[in-house]
A and B are shown apart, each in its own frame.
Chain A
Amino acid sequence: MAQKTALARLTEVATGRGLPLLRRAFDGVQRVAGEVTERLLGSDFEDRFRVLADRYEQLGGDPFGFDPEAVRTAALASAFFHRAYFRTDVYDVDRVPAGRVILVANHSGQIPIDAAIIGCALFFDANPPRITRAMVDKWAATLPFVSTFFSRMGQVVGLPENARRLLNMGELLLVFPEGMRGVSKPFSERYQLKDFGRGFMRLALETKTPIVPVGVIGAEEQYLSFGRASWAARAFGLPVFPLIPQMLLPGGQLPLPTKYRLFFGEPLYFEGNPDDPQFVADKVYLVREAVAHILRRGLAQRRSIFL
């Protein structure tokens, strides 16, 4: 009997005093979270989101599996990295022409965060906002969750057929001609461009698509890689296995909070025979020089890696 009254009193205290207190605390947290969300996403997030959603509604859905709703889900986390963690400075994003276009950027950072940040810049900072379709390695398509996530975010397996179809849809393609060689480059080779693949140039010539060179500064210092272990890559069935000591430290799994700077160059227009290997190689060299030039200028301006 006595037990029951004690329990009843406890319940009363809990509902009468405890709950309102909890609710106030919860409301406070919610308000702060709302403010932070607004600060990160920007006040015009809904408008930007609508522009994208409308575009794909008009196209009758995206055959590659891009889902605008998924952008909404991923927006907060990406905006946190874009605006707060890497504090990206975006220069001349308005140089990206409307309609189909190929962005060619330097690739680095062990994990393709550079692609995500370029995607953020084109969604959060460009007018009108655009979705970036990056070409991913087919290895990613065999991974659970990763394959689905990439597909919903508009990324496609890097095949010329896919790229051609996207360009014909008037999409913005992001290409890293350095490929896997670039993303896994060790710290000692930072900002040194690897050899460029030539597929993007053949596509650009075939479809008469402008190319915008992009320099990404900051990504090459986010993980300090001391080399590659090819035996480990073979053993684990990975395309590459970088040696990153910081991964062993607590919290070292996150990239270093370097400052990202994105420089968009003037669009380049090429015309000519896509089946002439020498001609294609010459034009690829021009694009590579354009990216290298942007990187040199950006690095010369930079005062600090972190500020």
Chain B
Amino acid sequence: MSMSLAPPTPIAAEPGAVVITGICGRLGRRLARKLHRQRRVIGIDRRSFPDRPADVEHHELDLRSPRVREVFSAGVSALVHLGVVHDPRGDTAEHHASNVTGLQKLLEYVEYFGLQKVVLLSSANVYGPRPDNPQFLSEEAPLLGAGPFSRIRDLVELDMCAQSFFWRLQEVKTVILRPAHILGTVRNAPSNYLRLSVVPTLLGFDPMLQAVHQDDVVRAILLALAPSARGIYNIAGPPAVPLSRVLELLERPTVAVPHTVARLGVERLFRWRVTSFPAPELDFIRYVCMIDDARARQELGYAPAHGLVSTLCAVDEERWLG
């Protein structure tokens, strides 16, 4: 065995750099801005990061590229993985491969270079909205989200990968965060849904919803980066309210559609590229998928700073700024 294969000893004195994958997403940029004053931040993303703070190092790389390994070789102590690709239009198989192999590679580097911390941003969607869900899902609930909605499969699999890593390498402080619907300037399905000029709902269905402000998610990630934090945590925001109340507070015009019609309609519209919402996502406005975040509150000391109104209004923030 040559000497070069032996893993280098991590620098223990000062907290090393934090690698953030998917740093150019809206959540990643917010996290980088919060974090770069305390710790060295290195970003990895296929996209460019034009207005990044001067002390943030950025690499325009695909996660599967062999050059990612070099990024990890110099004094990195933590990984925050936000770089999960969701694109309802993209090729499923390609996505799946890039998401799963991407995370596998990253975890390989974490093990090899002896990083102390991994934070994976999963989602409460992995539990899936179901008529027989308990009102509050704990972290032990089965991840059934991929049953009716195969595109969540990627997310479920990433969560599982991280879980097996969590159990296999007990010395690495792995944290899996499963936030409820993240609202804000982020471009995700719940925020896009609430930004529609006329919001469709399902006639006769009005499930309880949980949402969390993007900055509360950033806060949770920062708490997860604390040296001792290790575990799987649900992250919820202000108390749950019915969907109708959400739309009332946002003063959105709504149109109620019978669920059978909506399903067929959205399927067609999706195929014709009129909408970017896949039909199985309708279950999120039909059934409950609510989480219990008591563990995060106790062990991480997490508490949402944003109330209901400011969480909801966050989806409009950039709209008025133009």
The answer to whether A and B interact is yes
Q: Is the interface of B mostly helix, strand, loop or mixed?
A: loop
Q: Distance in Å from the Cβ of B273 to the closest Cβ of chain A?
A: 29
User: Is there contact, CB below 8 Å, between B206 and A151?
Assistant: yes
**B residues less than 8 Å from A146 (CB atoms):** 204
User: Is there contact, CB below 8 Å, between B205 and A157?
Assistant: no
Known: A63-B290, A161-B134. A145 touches B204 (CB 8 A): yes
- Taken together as a complex, chains A and B put the C-alpha atoms of A63 and B136 apart, in Å, by 9
Q: Give the interface size class of chain B.
A: 20 to 34
- Taken together as a complex, chains A and B put the C-alpha atoms of A156 and B136 apart, in Å, by 12
CB nearest to A160 among chain B residues: B134
Partner of A159, one of B134, B240, B287, B290: B134
Is A64 at the interface (CB under 8 A from chain B)? yes
User: Is there contact, CB below 8 Å, between B287 and A141?
Assistant: yes
Q: Distance in Å from the Cβ of A152 to the closest Cβ of chain B?
A: 8
- Taken together as a complex, chains A and B put the C-alpha atoms of A148 and B245 apart, in Å, by 13
Is B318 at the interface (CB under 8 A from chain A)? no
**B residues less than 8 Å from A151 (CB atoms):** 206-208, 242
User: Is there contact, CB below 8 Å, between A147 and B205?
Assistant: yes
User: Is there contact, CB below 8 Å, between A147 and B204?
Assistant: yes
Is A138 at the interface (CB under 8 A from chain B)? yes
User: Is there contact, CB below 8 Å, between B204 and A63?
Assistant: no
Q: Distance in Å from the Cβ of B261 to the closest Cβ of chain A?
A: 11
User: Is there contact, CB below 8 Å, between B135 and A162?
Assistant: yes
Is B51 at the interface (CB under 8 A from chain A)? no
Partner of A161, one of B136, B205, B239, B259: B136
- Taken together as a complex, chains A and B put the C-alpha atoms of A138 and B72 apart, in Å, by 49
Within 8 A of A (CB), among B228-248: 239-242
Within 8 A of B (CB), among A167-225: none
- Taken together as a complex, chains A and B put the C-alpha atoms of A147 and B132 apart, in Å, by 12
**B residues less than 8 Å from A142 (CB atoms):** 131, 287
**A residues less than 8 Å from B240 (CB atoms):** 63, 65
**A residues less than 8 Å from B136 (CB atoms):** 63, 161, 165
Q: Which of A60, A61, A143, A165 has the most C-beta atoms of chain B within 10 angstroms of its own C-beta?
A: A61
User: Is there contact, CB below 8 Å, between B131 and A63?
Assistant: no
User: Is there contact, CB below 8 Å, between B203 and A144?
Assistant: yes
Q: Distance in Å from the Cβ of A153 to the closest Cβ of chain B?
A: 13
- 10 additional contacts (CB under 8 A) given A157-B133, A157-B134: A61-B241, A64-B135, A65-B207, A65-B242, A67-B242, A141-B132, A144-B203, A144-B204, A148-B204, A151-B206
Show the binding face of A for B, using Cβ within 8 Å: 60-61, 63-65, 67, 138-139, 141-148, 151-152, 156-157, 159, 161-162, 165
